Amino acid sequence: MLIGPTTLFWLVAVILTVAVCLALLRPLVGRIERFRNPIALELDVYKDQFAELDRDAERGLIEPAEAELARAEIGRKIIRLAGAEDCTRIIPSGKISKWTAMSTVLSLSVLAWGLYLATGEPYYSDQPTQI
């Protein structure tokens, strides 16, 4: 079975449209709850700073008085962070958001196809290159 150029064009166009729709849907439909709380990430940074400060003090790279001042400063940051509210919004990835994402991507692809059919020349024959 031999496929004509017009049929081949439409087949490739449909395959590319489906591939782009899937590429757009993947991050939109993915689970958002897997991301960690930013406050917990900052606490991890401060814990690492404490550990690094202890290592530097053991090696003698920092004076004991300076180490105590640095520990106090990190402790103040942790206390200030403990009083902060978590200002992140976790968007649920339930059926509503999945359906919204799928309908948006589908409507965009239908709009693109419609725009091409209205303004493009899908059945116009190829023209040879001119030198």
| Residue 66 and residue 27 share a domain | no
Q: Is residue 130 part of a domain?
A: no
Q: Is residue 129 part of a domain?
A: no
Q: Is residue 128 part of a domain?
A: no
| Residue 63 and residue 22 share a domain | no
Q: Give pTM, 2 decimals.
A: 0.44
Residues 6+ apart with CB under 8 A from 71: 50, 53
Range of the domain at 97: 1-33+90-123
Q: Is 9 helix (H, G, I), strand (E, B) or coil?
A: helix
| Residue 102 and residue 117 share a domain | yes
| Residue 100 and residue 70 share a domain | no
| Residue 85 and residue 96 share a domain | no
Taking a C-beta distance cutoff of 8 angstroms, is the pair 30, 93 a contact? yes
| Residue 78 and residue 108 share a domain | no
Domain count, the chain: 2
CB atoms within 10 A of CB 53: 19
| Residue 66 and residue 22 share a domain | no
Q: Is residue 10 part of a domain?
A: yes
In angstroms, the CA 36 to CA 90 distance is 10
The two tokens of residue 101 are: 């994402």
pLDDT higher than threshold 80 for residue 97: no
What is the 8-class DSSP label of residue 94? Answer: S
Query: pLDDT, tens digit, for every residue of 41-93?
Result: 888 889 999 999 999 999 999 998 999 999 999 989 888 887 766 555 555 54
Cα distances (Å, whole numbers) of residue 36 to 43, 61, 83, 92: 12, 34, 18, 14
| Residue 19 and residue 43 share a domain | no
Query: pLDDT, tens digit, for every residue of 110-129?
Result: 998 888 888 877 667 666 66
| Residue 83 and residue 43 share a domain | yes
